[in-house]
Amino acid sequence: MRIFEKHAQAGSGAAITSAQVEDLTGWSRDTIRKDISFLGKAAGGASGAVGGSAGYEPEALVPLMRKALELDRRRKFCIVGLGRLGSAYLGFTPPELAEFELAAGFDANVNRVEILPSAAPLYPAYKMADVIGRFGIEIALLCIPAEAAQEAAEKCVSAGVRGILNFAPVVLRLPQEVAVRNVFVVDELRNLSVNMGSLPLKNSETKNASKEE
């Protein structure tokens, strides 16, 4: 969706084709056309209303995509754990984040809560249940050690959180109606390493490998 958003923000009015999206993402143009057709219908429109053989009109397509993906309203989120990672996200404000609102931050260390600079209000961890429910917070960024993650996640869910972005290296056991995304840097590095192993070697690397043999 970011590709279409950037074209829409450019304001050139130029259409973007499925072939161009394929070049930028690696997804097949057939898949792109099918997905756009599905999203258009799911949002109450039709793929033909936003483009055709000449390409898709980003200004018309982006609102349909937002509606179909339920990104047409702002959701509030909080940060649980304000150490190096959590505090870094306090100042994370890219334009794409406009559809989300950082409503609160929590930490067990009261002194940290008092001294950290933040545009959003910060609270001691024991106030999570009250603040999450009162502010209508739906998403939590879990930036705490593995040994504390399960308990913190359960408290978030009990207070009304429906989605958790988990940065702790642990598998959370939560109800099925709670969406969880796990982001652990070591796992991502391993995945990259595996993917790199299946890539074709550069000419220079091939020559070096031949010499070694």
- Do 140 and 169 share a domain, yes or no? yes
Tally of domains in the chain: 2
Question: Going by DSSP bridges, is the β-strand pair 122-124/100-107 parallel, antiparallel, or unpaired?
Answer: parallel
pLDDT in tens, the chain (213 residues): 566 666 666 666 677 777 877 777 777 878 877 877 776 565 555 444 455 556 777 776 777 777 766 666 789 999 999 999 999 999 888 777 788 999 999 999 999 999 999 999 999 999 999 999 999 999 999 999 999 999 999 999 999 999 999 999 999 999 999 999 999 989 999 999 998 988 887 765 555 555 555
Task: Encode burial over 21-32: b for 16+ CB neighbours within 10 A, e otherwise.
Answer: beeeeeeeeeeb
Dist CA 29 CA 35 (whole Å): 10
- Do 64 and 80 share a domain, yes or no? no
* pLDDT above 70 coverage of the chain, percent: 77
Per the domain annotation, does 167 fall within a domain?
A: yes
Domain span at residue 49 reads 2-68
- Do 64 and 79 share a domain, yes or no? no
Per the domain annotation, does 211 fall within a domain?
A: no
Cβ neighbours for 179, distance < 8 A, ≥ 6 positions apart: 162, 163, 164
- Minimal CA–CA distance to 82: which of 25, 35, 17, 140? 140
- Do 87 and 180 share a domain, yes or no? yes
Per the domain annotation, does 205 fall within a domain?
A: no
Dist CA 170 CA 96 (whole Å): 28
Per-residue pLDDT tens digits for 26-77:
778 788 778 777 765 655 554 444 555 567 777 767 777 777 666 667 899 9
- Do 89 and 43 share a domain, yes or no? no
Dist CA 91 CA 192 (whole Å): 28
Bridge partner residues of 163 (DSSP): 139, 179
Per the domain annotation, does 92 fall within a domain?
A: yes
CATH number at residue 172: 3.40.50.720
Dist CA 1 CA 165 (whole Å): 20
